[in-house]
Structures are given as structure tokens and as C-alpha cells.
A and B are shown apart, each in its own frame.
Chain A
């Protein structure tokens, strides 16, 4: 390959001497703005999706002075429930440890509960602790969770039914554990005011496992007696509660909004 003459090289280098470092800096700045642009697009996409990253909500059936009845929490796919504010779900009730249990959603099974050492919960009347296999007692739509003095019910997004992964039953083992009648007083008396959901746990029955979800009618949330059809929100990216129906909708508990005093 021919070598360029000295004079041409000097002229070229005089240009490149300043151009190359300038281009290097410009390239780094452009990559930085590209990174910012990617982040912004992701945030815009997430803002347009209601319930982004969540699988449903936990509705308080009975709480405490710090936790009103009918308060509801969006449930992420994975997280920690406890009494401290750093938890994903904050339940400020007596008997709830600082970090009471971990939970994670498993497609085809349900919401699995992993209590921490020394912690116990009741899922549909069954005691679940750190030695219990989480897959044996998954939470599905309508399942009732008792943690400390609080009782909560799980509402799953109905669209989870349509993913093709059916939740057939909570027990993976072929031999289901013998039905355990919950001890008297394990459920607060006012639980009786909430009609059981189809297939969900009823204190009067010894069969404690909810029916498959395909038997329930679907809306954004599967229908519950206390949430009528007109209360279900439209999937439009709006906030969970509309102003006109706020008095009939459960109050959403969002610890960030509580912190801001909204």
C-alpha cells in the first residue's frame, strides 16, 4: 500500500490532532444521552400500564388502629411483607414481625409464602411456617391470609387466567395433607361478614382449597361480592380509584402517598 507524502500527513494530522479527541468526547456524550433516552422510554411504557409489575391486590378484611379495613395493597411478583417501612407490603399490626415473610409469584401455582424464622401465618386456615413447603399452600384468588392480628384477602388480576397457565390447585403433592379444621377463634368474628368467594375457604367446610379460576367470571379483577362490576376500573392507565366512586371503593394504601400526605 502506498504511503502518503509527509506534507499530506502533516496536514491530516494537524486536523486529526484535535478532531479525534473531540470525536471521542462527543461519542461518550452521545452514548450517555442514548442511555437516558432508553430509560425515559421504559418509564413511559411502564406509566401507561396499570398495575405494572403487580399480580393483584391484598384487601384488608380486619386490621388494626393503624390499618383500616378495606385498605388494599398492590402485590408485586416478589417481595417481603412486614411491619417496617422498607418492606414491599407494610402491615402495621400487632403480631407482625419487622420482616414477616417473603413471597413470590409462580406461574401455574400461585403466590408462594416463605415465612422467616420464628414467623407464622395462616393461609386459608393452614399454618405455614419456615419449615413448611411453600408450594403446598399457595395463595390463589380469594385466599385468605392471616398474619398477626390482620386478615387479608388476595385478589388476583383476572388476566392471569388467560395466560394459558392455569392454576389447577394449590397442592402439588398427589396426597393432599389431611384437612385441618382451623382452631376456634383463628378467624376474627367479623370475617363472617364477608361472604366467601366461590371456591375459597369457608370455615364451615373441611375442604380448604379454592376452585380453579376458570369457573369464575372474569373482569380486570375476578368478581368479588364486595366489588361490583361497575367498580372495576377500566384499563386505561388511570389511577386505581376514580373520584366519583371513591366512597364505595376500598381505600388504597400506598405508603409513598401516605408519606407525602396525599
Chain B
């Protein structure tokens, strides 16, 4: 246990030092009071979150450390735009923590039932269909998919596969109607794999996969027009980034673009490589939580979370390397789009809740074996 405690202390110390230095450079350069405040506030907020709420709510500290690091990198990247942009990004991250707790509470205490699963499915479909219905440009896609995954897992754990698949299919159609091809592909794969994990029926899984491919093929053949999409190659921009930034002048220039590219242009390619590594640590932790979960509902929920985050990460990597000729989205947790950030923290909260549930089950077993002595 001492080794574990010192390992935790080392992680916290590394996070504090890294982010304190990372904001110190632009603060010294520009003299902005906002950046000076962030030099102290960002490490302090990380320390407080890892020490107090994580302990009180039994949040999973290893995935929380990775997630907070990604948030900090997002704030760092925003500081390259302007100090106010960095402040806005930090406020977004703080407000997103609420959804972390919401996800943790929901996954830990939710008891699957058919009425609850139907309600959550309808709410999730409403969120996905929001741009279609309201005509607004605000997309609640990621939150809707997270809740729909939650409902789908509830249906599967109650052995009601058909209603779950029906709702998932409606979600897929809604995504295709909005021309969200990548999100639809991610959702389709997630549904098929969750069905296979929950039911173990190989033949029906292949049938579901075939149906998904057929729907996709029909959509791409009839409705999809690639000429209407403006594609900008990313690989040349990324390969042009130096591993270590040579000139300090870059930091004071206002720049635009995705947070990921901003991070690379201001802090070098090495920091860029850390982003997929941190995400893979979160996914590894999620897989570990899923394998240790006692109930099939929690195991499938953790697996679904890993799938949603992992498939999105892979799709962004494919787009950044121009293997998918589409405009790259944002990595999970490294985004400035508020609904997406809230959804990512909600998914992370689900993992934390299941991890704390696993710990509680372990303690219960220890208590039972003591009672039997």
C-alpha cells in the first residue's frame, strides 16, 4: 500500500509541476493576470479534485488523473489563442465536472428496469434529434449517444434485446438523417459489439452486423454526396510540426484551429503524442473496470463506455492521418465544444461509478468472509 500511495503522490506532483510550468511561460511572456491566475488555479483545482471529491465519491483516480491532464492540455492550447479563451476553457472544464459526478452516481445506483430504460431511450433519442426538430445548430449528439448506450445496456441486461436494438436502430437512422456518418458508424459498431457481449449469440450478432452494413451501404449509395464535403488534409500540417517548439514567439501569436493542432503548434509534437497515450490509459482502465465488474449490467456499461470513447478516438486519429477523408473532430475530453465535453465527462463518471462499485463489492466479500470465521 505504501508503494501505491507513493505512486499516487508522484502522479499528483508531476501534474502540479507540469501545469504550473506550462502556464508560467505564456504568463511571463504576456504578463496577463488571467494567465498568472491559471498558473496557480489549474494545478490547485487538480489537486483539490484528486484529493477531496475523488475520495468522498470514491471516484477512480487513475482515469481521473488522465482526464484532468487532458483538460489541462486543452486549457494550455486555448491559452495560445488568448488568455480569455483559456479562462473560458477552464470554466467549461469546471462545469463539466458536475456531469462526472452525475455519471458516477447514475452508474453506481441505477437499477435497470424496462420503464426506466424506455424513458432514458426516449430522452436520448430526443437529444439526438434536437437539431432536426428545432432547426438549431447546437448538437447534443454525444450526450444522446451516451444516454442511449446506457439504455441499451439496461435492455440487454434485462434480456430484452429486441426493444434495445429497435431503439438503437432508430438512433442510427437519426444520425444518418443528420449526415453524421462517423457518429453513425461508431454507434452501429458499438451496438453490435454490445449485443455480442451481452447476449453471446454469434449468429444473431452477425445478422445485426450485416443489417448495419446494409443500412450504411444504402445510405452511402443513395443519399451521401462526397462532393459537398470540404476536405482539408491534416497530415501535412501535423507532420510539419516540430517535436520541440524552436521559437518562443509562437506563444504570443493568436492562432485558431482545433485544440489538438494548437497544442502541437505551441508546445511541440511530443506533447501531441501524449494525447492519444492518455486516452489509451483511460481506455485500458475502463477495460480493467469492465473485466472486474460483478454484474453483467455494470460490465456491459463499462465496456460500452470504452467502446464509445475508443471508437471516437480511433476515428479522429484516422481523420488526422487523412485515412478518412473527412474533417477531423475533436478527441474526447480535448474539446472546446460544451455539449461534447459534458458528454465525455458523463462517460468518465460512468467508469468511475462502476470502479467504485467494484471496490464496494470487494469490501462486501471481505466482510462476508470475516463473518464466516
Q: A34-B62, A42-B362, A162-B371 are in contact. Are A12 and B274 (CB under 8 A)?
A: no
Could you say which residues of chain A place their CB within 8 Å of the CB of B365? 49, 51-53
Contact between B17 and A23, CB atoms less than 8 A apart: yes
CB distance from B5 to the nearest CB of A (A): 9
Report if A255 contacts B (CB, 8 A). no
Q: Tell me which residues from 27 to 63 in chain A have a Cβ below 8 Å from any Cβ of chain B.
A: 27-28, 30-35, 37-39, 41-42, 45-46, 49-53
Q: A34-B8, A38-B62, A159-B369 are in contact. Are A3 and B295 (CB under 8 A)?
A: no
CA distance A234 to B1 in the complex (A): 26
Mark interface residues in A1-43 (1 if CB within 8 Å of B CB, else 0): 1111000111011001111110111111011111101110110
Contact between A30 and B7, CB atoms less than 8 A apart: yes
CB distance from A123 to the nearest CB of B (A): 18
Contact between B372 and A157, CB atoms less than 8 A apart: yes
Chain A: interface residue total (CB-CB under 8 A): 58
Could you say which residues of chain B place their CB within 8 Å of the CB of A13? 25, 248
CA distance A19 to B277 in the complex (A): 19
CA distance A87 to B21 in the complex (A): 53
CA distance A132 to B343 in the complex (A): 40
Could you say which residues of chain A place their CB within 8 Å of the CB of B69? 27-28, 31
Contact between A17 and B21, CB atoms less than 8 A apart: no
Report if A145 contacts B (CB, 8 A). no
Contact between A25 and B295, CB atoms less than 8 A apart: no
Contact between B244 and A18, CB atoms less than 8 A apart: yes
Contact between A17 and B274, CB atoms less than 8 A apart: no
CA distance A9 to B247 in the complex (A): 11
Could you say which residues of chain B place their CB within 8 Å of the CB of A10? 248
Could you say which residues of chain A place their CB within 8 Å of the CB of B24? 16
CA distance A158 to B372 in the complex (A): 7
Enumerate chain A interface residues (CB-CB to B < 8 A): 1-4, 8-10, 12-13, 16-21, 23-28, 30-35, 37-39, 41-42, 45-46, 49-53, 77-78, 80, 86, 99, 102, 104, 114, 157-160, 162-163, 218-220, 234-235
